[in-house]
């Protein structure tokens, strides 16, 4: 993927665009269903999130081989985020599990 975060002014786009417009444009470009579901809500209604999605999918595990770290891929994804990238982690079903907060909270990179 080209480094679009450098080419685009995400701060400016965040102030000018909104989800309905982006969703309609993506639909017209042949990429339907790119918006998050309505039940996904921000922690702060005044906040606006704008960036490029880095995706991950959680799956239930019924067996872990000895020495296997089930969080390694998740931590690699979080640790490798670049400016302008946003982690989007899906559980694809029942939300009966929880994620350790430290895994998804890397130290800030000022």
pLDDT tens by residue, 24-71: 998 999 999 887 777 777 788 888 888 888 988 888 778 888 998 888
Nearest C-alpha neighbor of 22 from the set 42, 49, 1, 43: 49
CA distance 9 to 28: 23
Running DSSP on this structure, what letter comes out for residue 44? S
List Cβ neighbours of 41 (8 Å cut-off, separation of 6 or more): none
Q: What is the pLDDT of residues 60-108, one digit of tens each?
A: 778 888 998 888 888 899 999 988 888 888 876 665 555 555 555 555 5
Question: b or e along 81-98 (b: 16 or more beta carbons within 10 Å of the residue's beta carbon)?
Answer: eeeeeebeeeeeeeeeee
> Whole-prediction pTM value?
0.67
Per the listing, tokens 């770290």 go with 69
Nearest C-alpha neighbor of 34 from the set 45, 43, 15, 21: 21
């Amino acid at each position: 993927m080209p480094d679009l975060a450098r080419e685009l002014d995400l701060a400016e786009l965040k102030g000018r665009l909104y989800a309905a417009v982006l969703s309609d444009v993506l639909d017209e470009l042949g990429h339907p269903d790119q918006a998050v579901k309505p039940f996904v809500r921000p922690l702060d209604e005044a906040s606006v999130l704008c960036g490029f999605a880095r995706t991950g999918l959680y799956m239930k595990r019924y067996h872990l081989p000895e020495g296997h770290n089930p969080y390694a891929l998740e931590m690699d994804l979080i640790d490798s985020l670049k400016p302008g990238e946003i982690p989007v982690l899906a559980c694809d079903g029942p939300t009966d599990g929880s994620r350790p907060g430290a895994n998804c909270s890397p130290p800030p990179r000022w």
